Structure 1
Amino acid sequence: MEIEQVFGLPAEDCILVSAKTGEGIKELLDAICERFPDPPEPKTDKLRALIFDSHYDDYRGVVVSTRVFDGKLELGQKILMMGTGRHWTVTDLGKNTPFPVQVKTLETNEAGWMVASIKTLGDVRVGDTVTMQNDPAPEALPGYEEPNQMVFCDFYPSSSGAGGKKSDFETLREAMERLHINDASFTYEAQHSEALGFGFRCGFLGLLHMDIIQERLEREGNVEIVQTAPTVSYMIDMRDGSSVEIQNPADLPDPSKIEGIREPIVKLEMICPNENIGDLMKLCDGRRGIFKGQQFLSETRQILDFELPLAEIIYDFYDKLKSITRGYGTMDYEITGYRRDNLVKVSIMVNGEPVEALSLICHRLTAEVRSRAILKKLRKQIDRHQFEIALQAAIGGKIIARESVKALRKNVTAKCYGGDITRKRKLLEKQKAGKQRMKTIGSVNIPQEAFMAVLEQE
């Protein structure tokens, strides 16, 4: 009855199946044949097969999972990938029954795996159509929509693992290359920051994908990673009618040429106990959420539907959801599109010089709170100098937050044991003038540890 309440499935249609004991397997297979529609009829006699998955094997190269819609795929056949235009020769064919079994032919509406001496996963695109090289099909199958990376963050090697024969950066690069072979939806590119050194800008399909990649890099690659706070991609509408997509706030064009900034919006579904509905609604309202609906699930649980900006849920939304519901709440989201809002770029300045590595894009209403939190963390990390250091957050030319690192002061009046007050005042004024002169020509070197402390995801 619980399955009927949670998923809305009729209880009488459920089949008792145990993969451990084998109970109900025959009934399950019979139900699949009865309830699922028959495969479609072939539309042409020419070969058309759809690639739906692929993985890398150390001994055979890329193993392609494919389904034949038209014609037949044979061993030794010369094939053409219609999307990439690459030519290959089939060296091995097989089916999973569920164990891999080699065959010589895959007929129409059959699915199996194919090996064609393909060296890298970059040569295979999921959703591509396989056809014959000498007698190709006139048009490709519809295929799949290309996966779009929506969440971005930076991975930097931790310096705590120093002392080996190879640098931490090279170890991280090799780990990412091995991981990318088996997960083509994960993208990365090397980048260099004067503040943070060498690292990688990585793109992920979502939050769960990002957590899995980080865990696999640390476990399989044996490398320690410092991960910055995640960001999202933004669409910048220019005044000339064009649109530009950016993933890094430092890449924002000149504000005078920008018509508006659009951010990704998600449809969020939360399953929560009845007693936590009010707290979750308050949480979503504080994250610029729009209430869309409420569904009755059972006597103790309900489903809440909201529309929220993706940037508002990628940082700590899930943790707060679990905290409010004491672990009983769950969430699911999907990207629905982009929407224009009152978004601004906040620049962080140290001693009057902007630091692009700390800049961020956020809503104007939350800009002051977020920038002040960054400045307070940065103030604790920068050492005191001989002059006062001003830490400022600005939107354009307007300062919205400020913190100060006080100057180190020498007690110049210690040698005065008495006498006229003008003697002490003269020494203090001389010290003040020296501090002002030092401030105009002095520079502040921000250590890498300070950037890591500010940018690292909590």
Structure 2
Amino acid sequence: MENIRNFCIIAHIDHGKSTLADRLLQQTGTVTGRDMQAQLLDDMDLERERGITIKSHAIQMAYKFEDKDYTLNLIDTPGHVDFSYEVSRSIAACEGALLIVDASQGIEAQTISNLYLALEHDLEIIPVLNKIDLPGAMPDEVADQIIDLIGCEREDIIHASGKTGVGVDDILAAIVHRVPAPKGKVEEPLQAMIFDSVFNSFRGIEVIFRVFNGSVKKGDKVKFVATGKTYDADEIGILGLEQKPQKEISAGNVGYLISGIKVAKEVKVGDTITHVDRPTQEMIKGFEDVKPMVFAGIYPVETTDYEELRASMEKLQLNDASLVWEPETSAALGFGFRCGFLGMLHMEIIQERLEREFDMTVITTVPSVQFKAVMSDGTEKAINAPSEMPDPTRVSHIEEPFIRAQIISKADFVGPIISLCIDKRGEIKNQVYLTSDRVELTFELPLSEIVFDFFDKLKTISRGYASLDYELIGLRQSKMVKLDIMLNGEPVDALSAVVHRDKAYDWGKRLCEKLKELLPRQMFEIAVQASIGTKIIARESVKAMRKNVLAKCYGGDISRKRKLLDKQKKGKKRMRQVGNVEIPQDAFMAVLKLD
């Protein structure tokens, strides 16, 4: 066991984690030149297209160093704040972490938050300065930032380049020397933690776990503690580029288990695996339950696909444990699910994966956050969707979630960033100059304001330099109202939103204007109205398409024309009473892109 090293790679987005992981795999001979491709571990189409890591990936490397054979278990993690749950799971399965910082960009917000996650679990941190071959690299300045952040010595920082392969040997040597070997006793009862799972349509669910104590052999009877289910370990093995079956996996190692589990609900990420005949007495303290930030409804386009969508969501949840969902119904869209996501990018990725991997076409409603209504009689009610908003006369007040946001940016952009945050009802709490040119701003903002387009706007005004990290700090009282959108006098619950009273009029007006552009014209006029309770605050009309009934009257008396026009008008009126309006998918998403 003293020759095993478990480590993960953490960094901000685009600091070169996946490229560096490629070099480590090549250097240790885990992957041959023929199988090599860029960002080898990002095996999902979406990851390749967007150039981001969405899932953390585990892979085992064999490395010979100073005449000893070492086993290195690497877990490559995502860098985006929306996938920080993946990072926290990887960290729980490791003893050390490579903290990668881009030499041309310096330390950014996600670097700091991932570092704190790692320090909470007492991981050994190895700082790596990546991309030193770039013309814009500033190795000395960035090294100073790293020393300020983690208090290491200057010679502890490894200079590397994922592109050219400089410094990769130093990184491998540092992993062997600095990362502690796993502590655990092989003779104790089996105690292993599930940190990931994958659905395989041929073999059922593959569980990926890390053994802390004891060992598991092929054919053993194992029990999942949280769900209480027992299984036979049909196949166990280690994760190379392909799965490699083994006879036994003992303490300190990472492996996979296949036992023909069919039902997705039976596997919980963070659960403990133990033997049936010699169970462990304590569960492993895994990681916190996921806290969804953004809630949105996902509905099948065809109502008959509801059960199929449920099965797809269960399989997707195996692969992405940060997805939380429960069934809900909507008057406009029928049966569907209320889903909790960690952010807008996460929501977009889930929607794409449902369409690609499971062939489900879905409609996503307007995202919102979870509010809390305190009733006049003192009871509290959670509001996940605008349709759950109780009658305003029975509510004493409404509380909304607030976050503490850390924004790190160049000093030139401080003014625009502060005005953006104040426009989003935020207040500035702190402003620290990290260097003469980089500043860290701390704000407290309502979560509902940053859900939609805050990150995009922040990137725009800072020319891509600013980085954002946020954490929930609790609920505060706010004046929130439910804004309804009505088409032809019928409220469309999928378009309603909970907004702050001061912004409701402006929001309603812009939304009506947007819907006027997006709704297809009908044979009758459609009234698009925004209302708070019974009070209409904005209205637009989508004009009717009409046939020219006067074409056959050339000249002649006005009364003949009048008669034809009145007849047409009557028909339009009747159509309007029985006609219903089909709302295209982009109208639902219009709410997101109001600006």
SS of the aligned residue for 1:357 comes to: helix
Q: Partners of 1:192 and 1:48 in 2: how far apart?
A: 41
Letter in 2 for 1:48: Q
Matched, 1:269 2:406: yes
Alignment of 1:296-445 (within 5 A): 296-380=433-517, 381=519, 383=521, 391-404=528-541, 442=577, 445=580
Give the unaligned 5+ runs of structure 1: 160-166
CA distance in 1 between partners of 2:342 and 2:162 (Å)? 31
Q: Equivalent residue of 2:494, what SS?
A: strand
> Which stretch of the first structure deviates more once superposed, 346-355 or 358-367?
346-355
What is the deviation of 1:32?
Answer: 3.6
Give me the whole-angstrom Cα distance separating, in 2, the residues matched to 1:59 and 1:349.
48
Q: In structure 2, which of residues 255, 261, 267 is the aligned counterpart of residue 118 of structure 1?
A: 261
Structure 1 residues 60 and 363: CA distance shift in structure 2, 3 A: same
Which amino acid is 2:349 matched to? I
TM-superposed deviation, 1:68: 2.6
Q: What's the offset of the Cα at 1:360?
A: 1.0
Question: Is the alpha carbon distance of 1:93 and 1:3 closer, same or farther for their aligned partners in structure 2, counting shifts above 3 Å?
Answer: farther
**Residue 291 in structure 1 maps to residue 451 in structure 2:** no
2:371 equivalent to 1:234: yes
Q: Distance in 1 between matches of 2:360 and 2:245?
A: 38
Equivalent residue, structure 2, for 1:244: 381
| Equivalent position of 2:322 in the other structure | 185
CA distance in 2, matches of 1:76, 1:454: 51
Distance 2:243 2:163 in 1: 20
CA contact (8 A) 1:67 1:111 kept: yes
**What displacement does 1:188 show?**
5.0
Q: Distance in 2 between matches of 1:219 and 1:305?
A: 39
Alignment partner for residue 587 of structure 2, among 449, 453, 458? 453
Superposed CA offset, 1:362-417 (max 9, x none): 1111111111112223344375777x865433323333333456789999xx9996
2:217 counterpart of 1:74: yes
Distance 1:192 1:415, change over 3 A: farther
Task: Tell me the distance in 1 between the aligned counterparts of 2:310 and 2:224.
Answer: 29
d(CA) in 2 for partners of 1:218, 1:290: 39
* Shift in alpha-carbon separation, 1:239–1:79, aligned structure 2, 3 A: farther
Asked if structure 2 preserves the Cα contact closer than 8 Å seen for 1:67 and 1:112, the reply is yes
Q: Deviations over 1:19-65 (max 9, x none)?
A: 67776555434434554456456699333222222223344432222
Alignment of 1:143 with 2:286, yes or no, is yes
Shift of 1:344: 1.1
Report the equivalent of 1:87.
Answer: 230
Q: Which runs of 5+ in 2 are unaligned?
A: 1-139
Q: How many Å separate the matches in 2 of 1:352 and 1:87?
A: 56
On the 8 A contact 2:199/2:315 being kept in 1, the answer is no
Q: Does 1:107 align with 2:250?
A: yes
* One-letter identity of the residue aligned with 1:152: F
Change (3 A) 1:389 1:49: closer
Q: 1:2: Cα distance to partner? A: 4.2
Aligned to 1:164: none
Shift of 1:86: 0.5
Amino acid across the alignment from 2:434: L
CA shift in 2, pair 1:103/1:178, >3 Å: closer
Which deviations, in whole Å up to 9, do the C-alpha atoms of 1:77-133 show, x marking residues without a partner?
A: 211111001011122233347875443333333333322222344321111111221
SS in 2 for 1:144: coil
Q: Secondary structure at the match of 1:327?
A: coil
- Computing the radius of gyration from Cα coordinates, the structure with the larger value is 1
1: CA distance between counterparts of 2:295 and 2:482? 17
1:236 maps to amino acid: A
What is the CA–CA distance in structure 1 between the aligned matches of 2:200 and 2:447, rounded to whole Å? Answer: 36
C-alpha contact 1:126 1:144 (8 A) present in aligned 2? no
Secondary structure, aligned partner of 2:155: helix
- Counterpart of 2:4 in structure 1 is none
Distance 1:444 1:272, change over 3 A: farther
TM-score (structure 2 length as normaliser)? 0.62
Q: 1:247 to 1:368 in 2, by over 3 A?
A: same
Q: Which amino acid aligns with 2:248?
A: T
* Two-structure CA RMSD over aligned residues (Å): 4.2
> 1:220 offset after TM fit, Å?
4.2
Q: Is the 8 A contact 2:267 2:318 kept in 1?
A: no
Change (3 A) 1:223 1:100: closer
Alignment TM-score, normalising by the size of structure 1: 0.79
Cα 1:5–1:398 shift into 2, 3 Å: farther
CA offsets per residue over residues 281-323 of structure 1, 9 Å max, x none? 0000000112122232334332222122222122121221122
Distance 1:172 1:319, change over 3 A: same
Displacement of 1:189 in angstroms is 5.8
1:264–1:336: 8 Å Cα contact kept in structure 2? yes
Cross-structure match for 2:143: 4
The count of residues paired between Structure 1 and Structure 2 equals 439
Equivalent residue in structure 1 for 2:194, among 51, 58, 61: 51
Q: 1:302 to 1:338 in 2, by over 3 A?
A: same
